[in-house]
Structure 1
Amino acid sequence: MELLLLSNSTAFGRKYLEHALEPISEALGGTKEVLFVPFALADHDGYTSEAAEALAPLGVKVRGAHTGNSVDLVKDAEAIFIGGGNSFRLLKALHAQGLVPVIRDRIRGGVPYMGSSAGTNMACPTLRTTNDMPIVQPTTFDALSLVPFQINPHYVERSPDSTHMGETRSKRLEEFLEENDVPVVAMREGTWLRRSADRLALGGSEAGGVLFRRGSSPVQLRRNADLSDLLEVPARFDL
């Protein structure tokens, strides 16, 4: 499989996808047209236009998955890009349109896949480590399972001088691990995961990320960390 999983699609002071054009070009590997899945946002036309404008400098055309029979479009796609937004709305749409098994089969068959934020969540076995509000109810939390571990995009830690007493992101991930035995890669802004066949690495910003495992202390991940071993770790849910 060829995967590029972005924590975020827009970096501070940069245009949509501008901070990641180089890894996007590498991941697409000469692909001339990308099927964009805009279902995480309500404005499908506007979102698709934004993706098309962002990828134009790479000479890549963009077609929206909403512009025809979505299953047929996925079956014919050279590459697939699922954009960010609300991951509950996104997953509900993917299941409602019968896209989950079709996308999974295409990607496992070698079609390049790119996700950002909610689209990155979709690459996991389940939705459970998203940050989003459940504004709709999917029929199931089961996602694409393109990787066997979980991801938490947009990972942030509470500032030491903060007086906020609510749950931190790390606390929520620890609660997830109390019920499930699945590694979680928490990705800070500006980072991405790049999978090529059986190799997996963390790229992007120097900020890196954090690896959470059940029964272990969180491990800080540096840029270019080799995470290939996570592709072989079994996932156990609802313990």
Structure 2
Amino acid sequence: MLVLVLCVTGIEDAVADKSARGVAAARHGVVPHTAVRPHIVPRSVWAVGGEANSTARTPPPPHYDDKVLAVFVHHTDSPNDYDCADAPRIIRYLAAGQTGARDWDDIGYNFLVDRCGTIYEGRAGGVDRPVTGAHTLGFNHRTAGIAALGTFTAGAAVPRAMTDAIAALTAWKLGLAGIDPRTTVRLTSSNSLSRYTAGTTAELPALAAHGDAYMTTCPGAALKALLPEMRERAARLQGRK
């Protein structure tokens, strides 16, 4: 049985080039609103043996955007009472469903977070890069998708470790483009099956619910209700007032 180190609460030291950017910005009187990168478990932990699953496939070369301007939060509609040691198995199951039954080329979410606050790399392409995902129809470009493992409809308990991890991941990912998690951004729909016809430019929260852009109740009423708190937490992690 795979043994994992779970319930990660710390964050890694900022990388050297981030510090260099901060020094350069300070010389010009600009305060860089970035955040340190949280610990992210690589996809090799759940995609055992590369893509070892009877229905999985080796993903094609990833597609990239120029930057990530917004983050969409999802839930996976899976049980909430799992042992966190089983999170890799659950992610493999989700990936198999998306690449098998749905015939997608890879898991759609860029990241997944379990109830212990452990962050997992999802879609291949590099966590530091603006990988184009398949998580929010019409708005996959210039965004990242974060999936909370579980079902968070009205009345469900949302673990604090999970929301803290989502906030930390959001702060870092949006900070790479200098985006305040509390603001709104302008995104252009690429699919008329979203809430906006193709070609429409919509103003959406930088930290948004899946349902803000697509006709769905995802990520569930309980998790959606905590988004304002997560936006504030992410902004503080970026050093914003």
Please indicate, yes or no, whether the TM-score normalized by the shorter chain is above 0.5.
no
TM-score by length of 2: 0.27
- Which structure is higher in strand share? 1
TM-score by length of 1: 0.27
Higher relative contact order (CA 8 A, sep 6+): 2
